[in-house]
Structure 1
Amino acid sequence: MLSHEHKNERWVFYKDIPTESGGEGVTKRILAYSDDVMVVENTFAKDAVGKLHHHPHTQITYIKSGKFEFEIDGEKHIVTEGDTLLKTNGVEHGCVCLEEGQLIDVFAPYREDFVKD
């Protein structure tokens, strides 16, 4: 199954979702999504970088595990398990993984660029 074949599916089973490259040292799984919202799991190896970028989506990141240095709009903080970050439309952000971990991202609306062939 390609990651985009489950848009608008009520039931999305983790075992059925393939991992995809999210950059060097990063894998992602596109979980449930619709036109309005998308959930993505990102797994980072130690020292992997989520380069600075911006996009026209609101993004909330939940730190499921690990330790990361995040930069949002020029401000940097170290975040760990249980912390949550809000990145509004167009705000530049990125991270460096200090200890292997996982991030859960929620995007509104969904990231069309993540599901194009």
Structure 2
Amino acid sequence: MKKAVLENLRSFSMGPITMRPFAGDKLMIVRAELPAGSVAPRHSHPHEQMTIVFSGRVEMSLGDETTIAGPGEVVHIPGGVEHGAVALEDAVIADVFHPVREDFLEKLA
């Protein structure tokens, strides 16, 4: 069994966004701290993703759709679909990935 406090995990930065990954064998959760106005540029990856908003509001784009997600809301992002986000205010989210984002773990090494 592995156990961690998400806000105390080691982190890396993606621009102004702080990323705190925690991985099992086939599944990963990443606490992300987004200052207001920060942008996760549109990108795609083969990993299936769920994004859970804990605090703040985030404008999320997926393909040609856009939505605003707030506390307690979850957004599903299929693998291979271009997506991005803009923090409309300071926000804390969790991204869940399957399979594990090895590229994120390498950034902690």
1:18 shift after superposition: 1.9
The amino acid that maps onto 1:90 is G
Q: 1:53 — aligned with what?
A: 43
Q: 2:31 aligns with which of 14, 38, 41?
A: 41
Q: 1:72 — aligned with what?
A: 62
1:19 shift after superposition: 2.4
Please give the root-mean-square deviation of Cα atoms over the aligned residues, in Å. 1.5
- Alpha-carbon distance in structure 1 between the residues aligned to 2:53 and 2:105: 23
Which has the greater radius of gyration? Answer: 1
- Alpha-carbon distance in structure 1 between the residues aligned to 2:84 and 2:50: 13
- The superposition leaves residues 74-112 of structure 1 with CA deviations (integer Å, 9 ceiling, x where unpaired) of 101111111100001101110010010111010001001
**CA separation of 1:36 and 1:96: change in aligned 2, threshold 3 A:** same
Alignment of 1:1-117 (within 5 A): 10-14=2-6, 16-23=8-15, 25-31=16-22, 33-116=23-106, 117=109
1:49 shift after superposition: 0.1
Identity between Structure 1 and Structure 2 (%): 34
Q: Secondary structure at the match of 1:99?
A: coil
| Aligned length in residues | 107
The amino acid that maps onto 2:85 is C
- Alpha-carbon distance in structure 2 between the residues aligned to 1:104 and 1:15: 11
Runs of 4+ in 1 over 2 A off after TM superposition: 11-16
- Alpha-carbon distance in structure 2 between the residues aligned to 1:94 and 1:59: 12
